[in-house]
Structures are given as C-alpha cells and as structure tokens.
Amino acid sequence: MTKRDYYEVLEVSRNSSDADLKKAFRKLARKNHPDKNPDDAEAENRFKEIQEAYAVLSNPQQRRSYDTFGHESPGGNPFGSGGFQGVNISMDDLFSGGFDSVFSQFFGSGGTSGRRSSRGNDVLIRHSIDMEMAMLGGENELEAKLLVICDTCNGRAAASPEGVKTCGTCSGQGQVTQNRKIGPFIQQMVTDCPECNGTGRIITDPCSDCRGQGRERKKQTIRFGIPAGISDGTRMRMGGRGEPIRGGGGSPGDLYIQVHIEDHDWYERDGSDLLMALPLGYPELLLGTSISLPHIDGKDISIDVPAGSIPGDTLEVKGRGFPRARGRGRGNVTVLLKLYVPSKLSKNVKKQIEGLRDEIGIDLDSIEDLVRKEAKSRRRIR
Ligand SMILES: [Zn+2]
Ligand SMILES: [Zn+2]
C-alpha cells in the first residue's frame, strides 16, 4: 500500500496554518479514536495514520523536510528504523489540547532515541545538466547561497571561548525530561530545554558577525563530479555540507544535489538506450542511404538505411548509447524510420511522380490482397 500524503490524511491544504492543522487533527482524531470505535481495526489504522501526519506536520523542521522530500526524507524515516509506532492519546487530551506535548516529544530533540540531535538540517539543491554531461560524466559546479559556519567565530557563536557556558537547566544535554499522565498511561517526555532552546549552550558574549547564530548565509561555489551514465533524478549526497545548527555547536547536515537531465534536441533516453526518429524521403527509403549525425559522445554516428526500408522500421546502432551499469559496455541507439512528405510539390515533380505511379504505386485491383498481406506482415509498425 502506498503511503498517503500527510496533508491528504489531515484533509488540509499544503499552506494551512498550525492552527488549521491542529483543528483538523482534533476533529479526525476524535472521530477515529479507539474509545469511540471499539474493535474497529480500520479506525485504529486511521487513528495511527492521522497521528503520524500530525506528528510530522506540527513540527516546523519536519514539515519543511516533508514539503521538500515527501515521504523519502534523505535522513531515513523520521521516526527511526521502526517507523511510527502510534501514541496513546485519551479523548480528554483531545478535548483539552493536552496532546500538544505528546507530539512535541517526537522530534525537537532527536526523535525516539532520546538523545539530542546535534546535527543541522539537510539541504536539497536541484541542478540541471545536458545529455552530454550525463553520458560522459565530468566535473561540475554550481553557485548557491547557503548557511555555512560563521568564519569569524568558527561556529562557536560566541566572540570568545569564554562566552560559551554550559546550560545549567539541562546540564548541556539540550533536553529536559518530564513525566506526564495521559489517561491511564504515564508517559515520560523529553522536550527541548526552554533555557537554551535545545542547544545545551548559553552564549554570554555573542559573535557580532553572526549575532550569536554560529552560522551565516553566504554565496558558495560547490564543485562535484557527475558519474558517467547518471540517471535523471539522482540525488548525490555531500556529507556535512548542509546547514550548521542555529546557535552553534553540533555538526552540519548533509547537502543533496538532485540532478535533472535536460532534454536533447532529438534523442530520448530509455535506460542505457537512446531513441530517435529519422525522417527520410521515399527515394532514400527505397534506394537506401547512409546518414551521418553529430552524436552525444563527440563522434559522429552513421546510420545505414538499407534499400527497401519501410516507415516504422527500426535500426539499431550498437554500443553508442549510455554506459551500462557495472561496466557492461554501452547501450544502443534505436532509430525509428519515418517518411518525410514534402508539403508542396512543384508541377514538374508532380508530373514525374505521376509518371512513376504505374511502377511504384499500388495496384488498386489487388488492394484486398495487399491489405490482407499487410495484416500478416511481421514488420513492426508504429
Ligand atoms: Zn560568528
Ligand atoms: Zn538547556
């Protein structure tokens, strides 16, 4: 079963506010609550699905990540390897709004592991390359304005080493633990430390260049290699080149470059093969010809059209497609023959063709036989 879109699950639009989300969650959670639907497995699943959607969308960082990556977050399942397990929320909590703190424990602070996440956000950049680069690979670069570690304080966020103190409230853990009674359950909740906003550090002497953020937005030139034969939509990861944590400390997230391959003027790609259509006049099809075209790999490609070719025939030029996986040579170029018909004929040409009709036209008396034969023909016609 495919996973449903979180916004769809909550029946809200993508730009709905936090208050809208909360309202939608409350309504749906009440409707599908196990207390109201005893022994209804379907409602139970829906209840879980609604919880998961709300857990992600009510967390600003998770919502951003979901809006960017959908269900395929580059960091893996946001709930850890086990996926979302569901939480116990009583009807009382749904009425009183007591469910807020149940959900705030999920991320904020490193998910279910209970350890503070000391990693910044991942960043995704989309990058276009032409078909030639996709086939041959090579060095590439792009420019982007990104959050990077502040040069002045080297990400410390304070002007001097003495300006960073360990937070006393959480002893530098960035998190505080609370026990909460939810219906019949006692739930131990770990939330971000309100004193240090989860960083575990108090900055008494903020760096003036980054105003105590430990990071700054800067134009960056990012260089990277494109492997030969790359597929459209491939995401390349650059570890540690994502966003540093706000407030300093920890390590930056990862940077992902998603490669988009631009359309070629005449080729279409099918895995390691290339497809193209070649328009030819009736004389070329009838008599055969050899066509030379510039090719993506830098060397001209020559296509030998045998005499007696028919529109719809395909020709194969072996070994001139994209590199195959694991070094198993290259794919092929498939050429589909088309008939080129001039839109206008001069009187003189028309006359010549009329003269040829008896020779190369069809015999209208035997049209039924021809149609029958055509139906039996093994030739592929597109
Ligand atoms: Zn700084
Ligand atoms: Zn703290």
Q: How far is the CA of 288 from the centre of ligand 1 (A)?
A: 72
Question: What is the C-alpha to C-alpha distance for residues 181 and 124, in angstroms, rounded to an integer?
Answer: 40
Ligand 1 center from residue 210 Cα (angstroms): 4
Which of 267-271, 302-306, 331-335, 371-375 has the least mean pLDDT?
371-375
Q: Provide φ and ψ at 302, rounded to 5°.
A: -115, 135
Q: Taking residues 255-280, what's their average pLDDT?
A: 95
Is 1-107 in CATH node 1.10.287.110?
yes
Amino acid at 213: Q
Q: Would the CATH topology of 1-107 be identical to that of 108-262?
A: no
Q: Phi and psi for 77 in degrees, rounded to 5?
A: -60, 125
What percent of the chain stands above pLDDT 70?
A: 93
Q: Please give the pLDDT value at position 108.
A: 47
pLDDT at 378: 57
With 50 as the cut, is the pLDDT of residue 112 above it?
A: no
* CA 206 to ligand 2 center in whole angstroms: 17
Report the pLDDT value the prediction gives residue 44, as an integer from 0 to 100: 86
CA distances 60 to 63, 135, 198, 298, Å, are 5, 39, 15, 48
* Å from CA of 122 to ligand 1 middle: 21
pLDDT at 113: 37
Q: How far is the CA of 199 from the centre of ligand 2 (A)?
A: 7
How confident is residue 322, by pLDDT bands cut at 50, 70 and 90? very high
CA atoms within 13 A of residue 207's CA, in its CB half-sphere: 24
Q: What is the mean pLDDT of residues 185-198?
A: 81
The pLDDT of residue 133 is above 70:
yes
Cα(41) to centroid(ligand 2), Å: 42
CA of residue 6 to ligand 2 center, whole Å: 32
CA 250 to ligand 1 centroid distance, Å? 15
Parallel, antiparallel or unpaired: strands 175-182 and 273-280: unpaired
Quick one: which ligand is closest to 244's CA? Answer: 1
CA distance 150 to 128: 29
Query: How close is the Cα of 115 to the center of ligand 2, in Å?
Result: 13
* pLDDT mean across residues, the chain: 87
pLDDT at residue 90, rounded to an integer? 78
Asked whether the beta carbons of 250 and 120 are under 8 A apart, the reply is yes
**CATH homologous superfamily for the domain 268-376:** Urease metallochaperone UreE, N-terminal domain (2.60.260.20)
- Ligand 1 geometric centre to CA of 209 (Å): 5
Which ligand places an atom closest to the C-alpha of 208?
1
Angle at CA of residue 156, ends 150 and 157, nearest 5°: 70
pLDDT of 53 reads 93
**Distance between CA atoms of 231 and 357, rounded to whole angstroms?**
49
Residue bearing tokens 């050899």: 290
Mean pLDDT confidence for 258-286: 95
What CATH architecture does domain 108-262 belong to?
A: Sandwich (2.60)
- Cβ burial, residue 226 (10 Å; 0-12/13-18/19+): buried
CA of 73 to the centre of ligand 1 (A): 30
What does the pLDDT read at residue 95?
Answer: 75
Q: Measuring CA to CA, how many Å separate 277 from each of 97, 103, 270, 285?
A: 63, 56, 14, 14
The predicted model gives 348-364 an average pLDDT of 89
Residue 292, pLDDT above cutoff 90: yes
| Domains of the chain, residue spans | 1-107, 108-262, 268-376
* CA 2 to centroid of ligand 2, rounded, Å: 40
Lowest-pLDDT range of 53-57, 263-267, 376-380: 376-380
The closest ligand to the CA of 176 turns out to be: 2
* Dist. CA 199 → ligand 1 center (Å): 16
In the reported structure, the alpha carbon of residue 130 is separated from the centroid of ligand 1 by a whole-number distance in angstroms of: 39
What value does the mean pLDDT take over residues 19-40?
Answer: 89
- Distance from residue 190's CA to the centre of ligand 1 (Å): 30
How far, in Å, from the CA of 248 to the mean position of ligand 1?
9
Write the DSSP assignment of 107-164 as a string of letters: SSSSGGG-SPP-B---EEEEEEE-HHHHHH-EEEEEEEEEEEE-TTTTT--BSSGGGE
pLDDT single digits (tens) 207-253: 999 998 999 999 999 999 999 999 999 999 998 899 998 888 778 89
pLDDT digits (tens, 9 = 90+) for 80-101: 666 777 777 778 778 777 777 7
Average pLDDT over residues 301-329: 93
